[in-house]
A and B are shown apart, each in its own frame.
Chain A
Amino acid sequence: MPVDPNQPDPDDASPWQTDWSAIHIALRGDPLTAEEAWSRLAARYCPAIHAFIQRLGHTEDAARDLTQSFVCDVVIGRRLFERADRRRGRFRNLLLTALRRFLTERHRAATRMKRLPPGGRTVPLDAVAPARDPAGAPDVAFARRWADILIRSALESVAAECECNGLGVHWSIFDARVVRPLLLGERPVPYETLVLRHGLRTAAQAAGMMIVVKRRFAAALRDGARETVSDDSETEGELRELAALLEGCR
């Protein structure tokens, strides 16, 4: 079969990316570019939506279907973000509120029609007890995924920036000293090793490079959070709230 260069590489795409490519194709030619922008933004946060739904007790497949339905019916179909007052509230809360409402509507409709989904039974949303483990609560699952996306995007952005600006060594040192120890629990590579590996003069030079990129990473996280709030003054509150939710998982 010939390879279509316009299609994403299936090995390189998550199920979400694949689904969203289809949605974008469906929207092609639509003059409402703002709508597309919003749908792209929603696609970015599909994993958080999915995590919330799954934590309510839905199966992986059902959660994926509901996620797709929510984004298609509510985010795009009902033009959620066009109707919402974007001058108030955070995108995360707005999305979460709409999601809760959508799931409640779905549950009521399913109950009214007394119709079971194929191969399973409906999960009564309000009957699902919150998990004892705070990390298992739907809100926290949603926040975890949200933060996960924020961090991945920030890392991607800083890595790309380093690459574009000839700061590959800076990135490598940040990776070895900060990213891998933080995310993978690896021991930081000793500075002596990094100095030899990259032909640097001193360990102090390498530490300085690490700080430069860590600052960029911190700024990229703030930029990412800023994209999801209505004004800059809310960025700090958003980061604080997310951090507190995650710290509550301990």
Chain B
Amino acid sequence: MSRRDFLPDDIAPDAAARALRWALEEATDPAQTGIDWIVSDIAPGIAGSEAFFAGGSDLAALRHAKDVFKSLRMTGRSARERRLAARFYAATIAAALVHHGTRITTQSDRAVRTALERLSQDPAVPASIRALASDALALVPPV
């Protein structure tokens, strides 16, 4: 089958522009772009990673994102991507704790606290997500 069989005669300008922006974003910061693509794929109605973790996502979406980030921690193409995936993995746990009062991981309190502490201190992550990690830390029993 020809792969273009299904393509429309005329690609809508906004769709074409989006595709071109993907190419630009991916060239600029491949690691962060991968994270953003995962979030927009899971929650297409939510604008950006920060909004996703700010309470706009349901538990199913957070669980799905957690699983994808968990995998990306190991399979990411660069050290930065793997590190960011680890941070955003922790961010899904934080968001579930803070916004839904639910723990979506079976990891120990110690492991969760360590992940959240790292997230809260990582300047590569947006400030709002670092603050979310700090809020979540208050909900995890001290060890």
Give residues in A with beta carbon < 8 Å to B.
135, 140, 144, 147-148, 150-152, 154-156, 159-160, 171, 177-178, 180-184, 188, 191, 202-205, 207-208, 210-211, 214-215, 217-219, 221-222, 225, 236, 239-240, 242-243, 246-247, 249-250
**Contact status of A148 and B26, CB under 8 A, knowing A204-B67, A208-B68:** no
**Contact status of A152 and B7, CB under 8 A, knowing A207-B42, A222-B27, A239-B23:** yes
Count of residues in B whose CB is under 8 Å from the partner chain:
37
- Are B3 and A205 in touch, CB under 8 angstroms? no
CB-CB contacts below 8 Å: B1-46 with A: 3-4, 6-8, 10-27, 30, 34, 37-38, 41-42, 44
**Contact status of A239 and B20, CB under 8 A, knowing A204-B64, A246-B13:** yes
Give residues in B with beta carbon < 8 Å to A.
3-4, 6-8, 10-27, 30, 34, 37-38, 41-42, 44, 64, 67-68, 70-72, 75
**Contact status of A207 and B17, CB under 8 A, knowing A184-B6, A214-B22:** no
Interchain CA distance A249-B17 in the complex, whole Å: 10
- Are B14 and A246 in touch, CB under 8 angstroms? yes
Residues of A within 8 A of B7 (CB): 152, 155, 183
Residues of A within 8 A of B42 (CB): 207
Main secondary structure on A side of the interface with B:
helix
- Are A147 and B20 in touch, CB under 8 angstroms? yes
Interchain CA distance A138-B27 in the complex, whole Å: 30
- Are A243 and B20 in touch, CB under 8 angstroms? yes
- Are A236 and B24 in touch, CB under 8 angstroms? yes
Residues of A within 8 A of B67 (CB): 202-204
Residues of B within 8 A of A152 (CB): 4, 7, 11
Residues of A within 8 A of B41 (CB): 177-178, 188, 207, 210-211
